[in-house]
Chains A and B, each alone.
Chain A
Amino acid sequence: MKWILFFGALIGLSICGREKFFGDQVFRINVRNGDEISKLSQLVNSDNLKLNVWKSPSTFGHPMDVLVPSVSLQLVKSFLKSQGLEYSVTIEDLQIYREMNSIAGDFPELASRVKIGHSFENRPMYVLKFSTAEGRRRRPAIWLNAGIHSREWISQATAIWTARKIVSDHGKDPAITSILEKMDIFLLPVANPDGYVYTQTQNRLWRKTRSHNPGSPCVGADPNRNWNASFAGEGASDDPCSEVYHGHHANSEVEVKSVVDFIQEHGNFKCFIDLHSYSQLLMYPYGYTVKKAPDADELDKVARCAAKALASLSGTTYQVGPTCTTVYPASGSSVDWAYDNGIKYAFTFELRDTGHYGFLLPANQIIPTAEETWLGLKTIMEHVRDNLY
C-alpha cells in the first residue's frame, strides 16, 4: 500500500545535526482505519516537528511507533488529542543510552559500554569505560558520576556531552590524551535511571530513587544519603517522605550498591567526581562532619585551580570549600564514601545556575555549562595523573 512506502521514506529521517537533547519520547499511536492514517500522515509530514517513524503499522489495528523530539512533545500531544488518536508513551530515557552505544560504536578502541547493574525498576545501569590499556591490567581509574538526583538534568546532560568530548579530543588534546595514557575513566551518566524517567513522565522535580518503602505511602530514598559514610548521621532524614531520606540501610538502594560493588571489585580508583546542580559550588569531603579531612588542604588547592579554569571560559564563578560548611551537612554521600575508602581525589560539583532557573536550566545553557565544566574536570584529572599514589 502506498502509505507504507510513504512512511518507509520517512524512516530515513536523520536526527543528527540536531543538538542532542533529552526528553525525547517514543509514542505508540493506535491506527484503526484509513482516516486515522491520513490524520497521522499530516502530523508526520510536518517538517518542523522533526518526527521520526520507527515502526509503521503493517495493517490496521497495529500501532505506529514514532520518535518525538522533546521540543515537539506538547504540539504532538495536542494534535493527537484534538484528532481523537489514541497513543501511549513507550520508551523514555532512550536518548542517553543510545548515545552511549553510539559513542562506544564510533570509538571501539577507546570506549565501551559496560552494564554494572540495574535499577529498582529493572532498568540497566550503564557506564562508559574509556581506556587505552591493553590486556586486563587494572589501571588507576577515575569515576565520573552524574544524575544521582534525577531532577538535576544539567548533570546527565553534561555527562553525556563529556563522554563525546573525551572520545573526540583523544589524540588531539594533549591533556586528555596523556590522562588516558596513564588512567582509565569510567563515566556513569545516569546513576538514577528510574528517577530520571519519572522526571520526564510524571514529575519534573523528582529527586530520589523510586524504591518502595514498606509501611509508607512515600516512594524512594535519596541515593546521595544512602552510602556507607556516617550513614543516618546528621544531614539526612529517617522519614521516607523526606527528600533526604537515607533509605532503610546503607546501600539499600540497588543503584548505589551497583556502583559500590563495581568500585570495590575494581580496587584501583583514585578519583571520584559527582555532578549535581544547582549552586555553582566545587566541594570536597566532608559532608558528614565539620572536621577537616586529612587531605583538605591539597583538595582545596586543586578545587580552586579547577574553579579558576572553569571560570576562564565564560566567567562563571564557583565557590570552593568542604561540603558541610559550603552547602550543608550531608551524611551518607557518595563523595564521602569514596574518600573514606581510599579514593583521595573526591569532589562534588554543583553546576549552574545559582537559583534563577535552578533545576530547570534552559537548554541553551547545556553546552556552555558542559564546556566550562570540562575545563574544571580536566584540571582535576591532570592533577590526579601527576600525583598518582
Chain B
Amino acid sequence: MPPRGQPPPASGPGGPRPAVLLLAPLLLLALQGVAAAPAGAGGTEDSPGLQDAELQRGLLQQAARAALHFFNFRAGSPSALRVLAAVLEGRATVNPKKECQVDLVFTTDHYNREDGEERLGKCSARVFFRNQKPRPAVNVTCTRLIEKNKRQQEDYLLYTHMKQLKTPLDVVSIPDSHGHIDPSLRPIWDLAFLGSSYVMWEKTTQFLHYYMAQISSVNQWKTNDDAVDFDYTVLLHEFSTQEIIPCRIHLVWYPGKPLKVKYHCQELQTPEEASGTEEGSAVAPTELNNF
C-alpha cells in the first residue's frame, strides 16, 4: 500500500503536537495507480504545489484504508477479504473544526490472491475523519468480487477447517519469525485479520494507520455451539510512529452472520493520555452487505 501523507510530528512526552493540516480547499485529483505517479501540480523552487499534491494523495490513501477496514469488518467474510489496489480519484474538504471529509473511488484486490488470478473490485466511499479522533465515519459500497454463493461456500469451507483444528492449539506466533504460516493455520490468520480489521478501522485517523504484524498468542479457540469463539492477541504496527501495539481481541464468528468483536489495546502511556482502555463491540448491522 502506497504511503500516507501528513503524520503527526515528533510525539514526545507531551503527546503528538498539533499537525500541520491541509488548508487546501476542494481539490479534485485524478491519480493513477500504485506505481510512481506524476506528482500532481508542478513544482516551483520549494514546490508548494508538489507538497499539496503529496498531502492530498496521502489523505486519500488514509481514507481508502479506513474504508477498506470497515468494509472487510462489515462483510464478515474471512474468505473474501480485500486489500487496496489503487486510489483512482478523490477529493477532500476540511472544515473550520479541522474535520476532514473525503470522497473517493478506489480499486481493491483479493487479500488471498492466488498467483495469476487478478480480480479487481471497485469501491466508492465517503470517509469522515474527526480531527485526530479515531473511529472515522465510513460509507462504502463495492462491486462484487466474488459471487455470493461462492463466497458463502468458501466461508463455510474455512469454517469446517477451523472446526477440525485440534484444541488447544499448539501455536505460539502466526506467522513465525520467518513469515511462515502453516497452511492448516491459514484460516486462523484470516479470521484474526477480519477481527483486527474492526480494531484497525476504529483506530485509523487522518494521520495514523495500521497493519496487522503478527498474532502473538492464541488464548482461546473454541468451536462448540457452532460459532467460532476466538480470543487472541495481535500485534498491530502503526506506521507513522512505528509503534507496535498489542491488542487483545475476542471475536465470535459464524459464516454468514455479522462478526462480534470486543478488544482492548495496550496504548503507549503518555502523561496526558488516559491509560488506554478501549472497547468496541460490533453492532449487528440490520442489513448484510450482500453483493
Residues of A in contact with B (beta carbons under 8 Å apart) = 21, 23, 70-71, 74, 199-200, 204-205, 207, 222, 233-239, 241-244, 279, 281, 290-292, 304, 307, 311, 317-321, 325-329, 331, 354-363, 365
* Residues of chain A contacted by B25 (CB below 8 angstroms): none
Tell me the number of A-to-B contacts counted with CB atoms below 8 Å. Answer: 126
CB-based contact A363/B178 at 8 Å = yes
CB-based contact A360/B213 at 8 Å = yes
* Residues of chain B contacted by A362 (CB below 8 angstroms): 175, 178-180
CB-based contact B11/A242 at 8 Å = yes
Complex-state Cα separation, A320 to B50, whole angstroms: 13
CB-based contact B34/A317 at 8 Å = yes
CB-based contact B177/A23 at 8 Å = yes
CB-based contact B1/A355 at 8 Å = yes
Interface residues on B, range: 35 or more
CB-based contact A238/B13 at 8 Å = yes
12 contacts between A and B (CB under 8 A): A204-B177, A237-B11, A238-B12, A238-B13, A242-B243, A244-B242, A319-B34, A329-B9, A331-B10, A355-B211, A360-B176, A363-B178
B3, B5, B33, B235 interface centre (most CB from chain A within 10 Å)? B3
Interface string of B231-246 (1 = CB under 8 A from A): 0000101011111100
CB-based contact B10/A235 at 8 Å = yes
Complex-state Cα separation, A196 to B182, whole angstroms: 25
Known: A325-B51, A355-B1, A358-B211. A23 touches B178 (CB 8 A): yes
* Residues of chain A contacted by B2 (CB below 8 angstroms): 279, 319, 354
* Residues of chain A contacted by B111 (CB below 8 angstroms): 356
* Residues of chain A contacted by B5 (CB below 8 angstroms): 325
* Residues of chain A contacted by B54 (CB below 8 angstroms): 321, 325-326
Complex-state Cα separation, A363 to B7, whole angstroms: 31
* Residues of chain B contacted by A21 (CB below 8 angstroms): 178
Interface-lining segment among B40-48, B133-141, B258-266, B283-291 = B40-48
CB-based contact A70/B178 at 8 Å = yes
Complex-state Cα separation, A327 to B5, whole angstroms: 7
Question: Distance in Å from the Cβ of A69 to the closest Cβ of chain B?
Answer: 11
* Residues of chain B contacted by A358 (CB below 8 angstroms): 211, 213, 237
Complex-state Cα separation, A119 to B226, whole angstroms: 54
Say whether B91 faces chain A, with CB atoms less than 8 Å apart: no
Known: A243-B243, A292-B45, A356-B83. A205 touches B235 (CB 8 A): yes
Known: A238-B10, A239-B270, A317-B33. 20 other contacts (CB 8 A): A204-B177, A205-B237, A237-B10, A237-B12, A241-B268, A243-B241, A244-B10, A279-B1, A292-B43, A292-B45, A318-B35, A318-B36, A319-B36, A325-B51, A327-B4, A354-B2, A358-B213, A358-B237, A360-B179, A361-B179
Complex-state Cα separation, A320 to B57, whole angstroms: 13
* Residues of chain A contacted by B45 (CB below 8 angstroms): 292
CB-based contact B36/A320 at 8 Å = yes
Complex-state Cα separation, A326 to B51, whole angstroms: 10
CB-based contact A321/B39 at 8 Å = yes
CB-based contact A326/B9 at 8 Å = no
B36, B214, B240 interface centre (most CB from chain A within 10 Å)? B36
* Residues of chain B contacted by A320 (CB below 8 angstroms): 36
CB-based contact A204/B36 at 8 Å = no
Q: Which of B37, B51, B213, B243 contacts A290 (CB 8 A)?
A: B51
Complex-state Cα separation, A243 to B244, whole angstroms: 9
Say whether B227 faces chain A, with CB atoms less than 8 Å apart: no
Known: A238-B10, A292-B45. A359 touches B213 (CB 8 A): yes
| Interfacial residues of chain B within 132-167, with CB under 8 A of chain A in the complex | none
* Residues of chain B contacted by A292 (CB below 8 angstroms): 43, 45-47
Question: Distance in Å from the Cβ of A176 to the closest Cβ of chain B?
Answer: 25
* Residues of chain A contacted by B37 (CB below 8 angstroms): 319
CB-based contact A236/B211 at 8 Å = no
* Residues of chain A contacted by B243 (CB below 8 angstroms): 242-243
Complex-state Cα separation, A304 to B47, whole angstroms: 19
Complex-state Cα separation, A236 to B240, whole angstroms: 11
Question: Distance in Å from the Cβ of B88 to the closest Cβ of chain A?
Answer: 16
CB-based contact A357/B237 at 8 Å = no
CB-based contact A357/B179 at 8 Å = yes
Residue of B with least CB distance to A311: B35
Q: Which of A204, A281, A331 contacts B3 (CB 8 A)?
A: A281
Complex-state Cα separation, A172 to B50, whole angstroms: 43
* Residues of chain B contacted by A319 (CB below 8 angstroms): 2-3, 34-37
* Residues of chain A contacted by B176 (CB below 8 angstroms): 74, 360
Question: Distance in Å from the Cβ of A253 to the closest Cβ of chain B?
Answer: 16
* Residues of chain B contacted by A355 (CB below 8 angstroms): 1, 83, 211
